[in-house]
């Protein structure tokens, strides 16, 4: 018999997190999250997402053992502002038992029906800065800190239970040694002169902070036309600023500004933390911090997380400036491999940016939906 219980206490939420550690304990491709970071994400007092969303974290039990988990989420901004009548689900992991998946999804259906919503979609988080999708290709490729790993039977469970493809994302890699800087350096010089643009480079995090709100405004503007997008609000900006910006190498954050110092483009790249997170195994103490700091300084991977260009400057070659700046810093750091994090298959503008980089698609992931 399968029993579903909502995780509410700190102990229950930790059990919720630790189920994934048990499920993937022998899997070399899964990247463990930091346990304390996950607990903060699920804390209604600490995570500002809960000011405009509600979430319920469910555990599935069979023979008194945890066999699955799922978060049922309503983003009220998505419903009230964007008029998208949807209940989300995320942070999903399960053993290979379709009845467990069915029982967990029933809790999502219940929440959606309670609020007269029209559809479900997942796995997705609270916002566009959370992880997204289950793998449908690339199960033998190591994950990274901004993606969920998943097993092949997740797709089978969803499709047998009547869920259908909603959105598809691609991930890819390319070798830094294969980059020909001449493909963008001449363009970069031309674009800077034509539009009177200049890059802003940083060596200290404190110098980045005055620009972060403007960066998030540009992020909202850049991605607003994507059907899945929910804007980042002011409270979330402050939260992400404190939680993440200080964690990223300042030299890996790039802003492009015009003659009036107005931001027209930004990009965020991170070192590859996958191996460090595997060594940390969810804990910052006693050695997790050491592994992460070592990776921050010496990783030979560059993970391209976000790129945004204001609509006014899209298709004007501004990304050539960004690529030139990153080429210089990656060359100085001895970067060997570049990784593109999930990009919507429909976002052809983003994909066109990489057409000269000889990229190799190594993963595909997907969200699934169902009408209620």
Domains in the chain: ranges and CATH: 2-169 (3.40.630.30), 175-364 (3.40.630.30)
Prior bond of 264 cis (ω within 30°): no
Instruction: DSSP for 185-209, please give it.
Output: HHHHHHHHHHHT-EEE--SSHHHHH
- Tens of pLDDT, residue by residue over 199-246, are 999 999 999 999 999 999 999 888 877 666 788 888 888 888 888 888
Task: Report the range out of 156-170, 180-194, 242-256 with the highest average pLDDT.
Answer: 156-170
Determine the average pLDDT of the residues in 263-282: 96
* Percent share of the chain, pLDDT over 70: 99
Strand pairing class (53-62; 2-7): antiparallel
Question: Kindly report the CA angle at 121 between 11 and 125, in degrees rounded to 5?
Answer: 45
Which residues neighbour 85 within 8 Å (Cβ) at sequence distance 6 or greater? Answer: 79, 116, 117, 118, 119
Name residues whose C-beta falls within 8 Å of residue 179's C-beta, 6 or more positions apart in sequence. Answer: 327, 357
Helix or strand run (H / E) with residue 343 = strand 337-344
* H helices, E strands: number in the chain: 12, 13
Strands 164-175 and 337-344: antiparallel
In sequence order, which residues have a C-beta less than 8 Å from that of residue 52 and are 6 or more positions away?
75, 76, 77, 233
Whether the Cβ atoms of residue 19 and residue 69 lie closer than 8 Å to each other: yes
pLDDT tens by residue, 123-174: 999 988 899 999 999 999 999 999 999 999 999 999 999 999 999 999 999 9
In the predicted model, what is the mean pLDDT of residues 20-37?
A: 97
Q: Which two tokens stand for residue 52?
A: 């405009």
Q: What is the pLDDT of residue 239?
A: 87
C-alpha count within 13 angstroms, C-beta hemisphere, residue 226: 23
pLDDT for residue 234: 86
Residue 183 has pLDDT above 90, yes or no: no
Measured in degrees and rounded to the nearest 5, phi and psi for residue 340 equal: -100, 125
Cis ω before 204 (30° cut-off from 0) = no
Predicted confidence (pLDDT) at residue 84 exceeds the cutoff of 80? yes
Predicted TM-score (pTM) of this structure = 0.94
Contact 92, 154 (CB under 8 A): yes
> Sorting pLDDT into bands at 50, 70 and 90, what band is 351?
confident
How far is the C-alpha of 65 from the C-alpha of 59, rounded, in Å?
10
| pLDDT tens per residue across span 305-323 | 999 999 999 889 999 999 9
Average pLDDT of 352-363? 87
């Amino acid at each position: 018999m399968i029993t579903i219980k909502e995780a509410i206490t700190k102990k229950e939420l930790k059990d919720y997190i630790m189920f994934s550690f048990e499920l993937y304990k022998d899997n070399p491709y899964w990247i463990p999250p930091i346990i304390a970071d996950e607990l903060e994400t699920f804390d209604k007092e600490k995570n500002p997402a809960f000011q405009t969303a509600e979430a319920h974290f469910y555990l599935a039990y069979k023979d008194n053992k945890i066999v699955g988990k799922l978060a049922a989420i309503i983003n009220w901004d998505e419903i009230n502002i964007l008029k998208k009548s949807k209940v989300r689900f995320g942070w999903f992991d399960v053993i290979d038992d379709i009845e467990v998946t069915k029982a967990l999804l029933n809790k999502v259906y219940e929440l959606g029906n309670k609020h007269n919503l029209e559809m479900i979609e997942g796995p997705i988080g609270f916002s566009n800065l959370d992880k997204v999708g289950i793998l449908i290709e690339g199960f033998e490729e190591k994950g990274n800190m901004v993606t969920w790993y998943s097993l092949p039977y997740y797709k089978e469970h969803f499709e047998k239970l009547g869920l259908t493809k909603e959105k598809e994302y691609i991930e890819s890699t390319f070798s830094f040694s294969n980059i020909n800087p001449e493909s963008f350096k001449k363009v970069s010089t031309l674009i800077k002169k034509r539009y009177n643009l200049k890059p802003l480079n940083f060596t200290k995090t404190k110098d980045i902070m005055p620009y972060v709100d403007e960066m998030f405004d540009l992020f909202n503007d850049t991605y607003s036309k994507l059907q899945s997008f929910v804007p980042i609000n002011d409270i979330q900006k402050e939260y992400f600023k404190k939680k993440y910006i200080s964690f990223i190498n300042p030299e890996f954050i790039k802003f492009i500004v015009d003659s009036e110092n107005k931001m027209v483009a930004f990009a965020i790249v991170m070192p590859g933390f996958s191996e460090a997170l595997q060594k940390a195994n969810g804990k910052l103490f006693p050695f997790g911090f050491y592994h992460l700091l070592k990776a921050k300084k010496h990783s030979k991977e560059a993970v391209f997380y976000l790129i945004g260009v204001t609509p006014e400057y899209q298709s004007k070659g501004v990304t050539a400036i960004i690529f030139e700046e990153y080429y210089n810093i990656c060359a100085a750091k001895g970067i060997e491999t570049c990784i593109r994090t999930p990009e919507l298959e429909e976002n052809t503008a983003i994909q066109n940016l990489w057409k000269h980089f000889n990229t190799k698609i190594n993963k595909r992931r997907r969200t699934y939906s169902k009408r209620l």
